[in-house]
Amino acid sequence: MTLFSTLKLAVRALWRNKVRTMLTMLGIVFGIGAVIAMVSSGQGAQQAVKDVFKSMGTNVLVVTNQNQRGPGPSAGGGGGAALTYDDIKALQSGEISTISAVAPILQTRTQVVSDQANWNTSVIGTQASWFTVRSWKAAEGMTFDEDTGNSNAKVTVLGRTVAVQLFGDARSAVGQTVRVNGQPYEVIGVLETKGQGPMGDNDDTMVIPLKTYQQKMDRGLAKYFRGMLLVQMTGDDVAEKTMADITALLRDNHKLKLTDEDDFRIRNPAEWAKAQQDSTERISMLLAIVAAVSLFVGGIGVMNIMLVSVIERTREIGIRMAVGAKPKDVMLQFLVESLMLSALGGVLGLLLGYGAAHLMADVFGWKMVFPVETAVIAFVVSGGVGVGFGLYPAVRASRLDPITALRYET
């Protein structure tokens, strides 16, 4: 029997029982759809985590005081800071060769005011290096140069959200004045948008020079630094060495004895990111397994309906055998039928999964990732399901005794 005739027979048999075919296919459709959607959204979520940490800067270490919970003096509480401005200078001196930039950050949330509006945002005091470390450029105007960053000039670079809230749009913000605690700051630039980050809206920020911050927002120039340091490294494979070097340098600077514990903390966001990613991966793996189970159940549905079909068509099988159908022909007929059922379900499932993944990407705000390999695998698997679960009914059909089959009364 030619392949084409076999295919035609299968199409006709499936078409004959349209409702049943569709219902059976649904099992495969949802199975494949779920697998695609789960894998796609899992990858999307992972990509989102990756992007978030990328927005913090790549190859960055975070150095804070030991007893400091979060960045900024508000969290620092009543002293206890161990990091000093000398430490910053030492780290920036180039003594540790794997450090490419250090950005000190002082930060607080406060009310900022323009002529038209006011807004509560996080004000950051830092140096020019901050823009490098976070690889953040100005969309309008400019960021700090070295001198501005080190000065106590009353200038500011606004995040897009702040610019929009205070001045309506980014362009018109440049050159305007923002008041914080009664002090006027000239807007010299507005940053490119970065969107959501791990600590909320990245663009909801206002950046001023570190020294200005100390003088106008904090307790004036001091010895101790109650903030956070972003340390950018020259590569991602030097994290351990750099952390060890920083530890040695800071311990030395702080004159800690061997038995003393560190009075500072160094964290590697890449590791948080990895942990985050690992957990998303685990969850998406779990979901994919659940989806695979539903595909399995769909496959059992195919097997079930093929068994029913074999029984219903026992007489037909008998007739076909009487006129010369070999066991192989009968087997192939049913196998192709279940293969077609599953493959068609697979295609529809692919579309459904794609749609669902798209929807989820929209809802959760991550990028749509369409896993091509997964799609191919899912399609092959659905075909495999068809063959795998269709095999038993098909073999059963082919083993029928012609005379018994011919006499079978439906």
Partner 1 sequence: MNDTGAPLIQMRGIQRTYTMGDNLVHALRGVDLTIEHGASVAIMGTSGSGKSTMMNIMGCLDQPTKGSYLLDGRDVARLSRAQLADVRGRMIGFVFQSFNLLSRTTALENVEMPLMYQGVPARQRRERAMAALERVGLAKRHDHHPNQLSGGQQQRVAIARALVTEAPVIMADEPTGNLDTKTSYEVMGILQGLVAQGKTVILVTHESDIAAYAARVVTLRDGLIIDDKTQTPLDARAHGDAA
Contacting positions for partner 1 (CB under 8 A): 1-2, 4-5, 16, 315-316, 318-329, 401-403, 406
Closest CB 4 distance from partner 1, rounded Å: 8
Closest CB 308 distance from partner 1, rounded Å: 17
Q: How far apart are CA 227 and CA 225, in angstroms?
A: 6
**Residue (of 296, 350, 342) closest to 32 by Cα position:** 350
Closest CB 1 distance from partner 1, rounded Å: 5
C-beta closer to partner 1: residue 34 or 321 = 321
C-beta closer to partner 1: residue 323 or 363 = 323
Closest CB 406 distance from partner 1, rounded Å: 7
Closest CB 320 distance from partner 1, rounded Å: 7
C-beta closer to partner 1: residue 203 or 316 = 316
C-beta closer to partner 1: residue 380 or 403 = 403
Q: How far apart are CA 226 and CA 279, in angstroms?
A: 32
C-beta closer to partner 1: residue 120 or 404 = 404
Closest CB 310 distance from partner 1, rounded Å: 15
Closest CB 364 distance from partner 1, rounded Å: 49
Closest CB 375 distance from partner 1, rounded Å: 35
Q: How far apart are CA 330 and CA 390, in angstroms?
A: 12
C-beta closer to partner 1: residue 123 or 321 = 321
C-beta closer to partner 1: residue 266 or 330 = 330
C-beta closer to partner 1: residue 260 or 401 = 401
C-beta closer to partner 1: residue 139 or 406 = 406
Closest CB 391 distance from partner 1, rounded Å: 18
Closest CB 10 distance from partner 1, rounded Å: 13
C-beta closer to partner 1: residue 219 or 399 = 399
Q: What is the 3-state secondary structure (H, E, C) of the chain?
A: CCHHHHHHHHHHHHHHCHHHHHHHHHHHHHHHHHHHHHHHHHHHHHHHHHHHHHHCCCCEEEEEECCCCCCCHHHHCCCCCCCEHHHHHHHHCCCCCCEEEEEEEEEEEEEEECCCCEEEEEEEEECCHHHHHCCCCEEEECCCCHHHHHCCCCEEEECHHHHHHHHCCHHHHCCCEEEECCEEEEEEEEECCCCEECCEECCCEEEEEHHHHHHHCCCCCCCECCCEEEEEECCCCCHHHHHHHHHHHHHHHCCCCCCCCCCEEEECHHHHHHHHHHHHHHHHHHHHHHHHHHHHHHHHHHHHHHHHHHHHCHHHHHHHHHCCCCHHHHHHHHHHHHHHHHHHHHHHHHHHHHHHHHHHHHHHCCCCCCCHHHHHHHHHHHHHHHHHHHHHHHHHHHCCCHHHHHHCCC
C-beta closer to partner 1: residue 3 or 372 = 3
Residue 230's beta-bridge partner residues?
62, 103
Closest CB 278 distance from partner 1, rounded Å: 55
- Cβ contacts of 188 within 8 Å, gap of 6 or more: 141, 142, 143, 144, 148, 155, 156, 157, 174
Q: What region, left, alpha or beta, does residue 231 occupy, with left being phi > 0 and alpha being psi -120 to 50 degrees?
A: beta
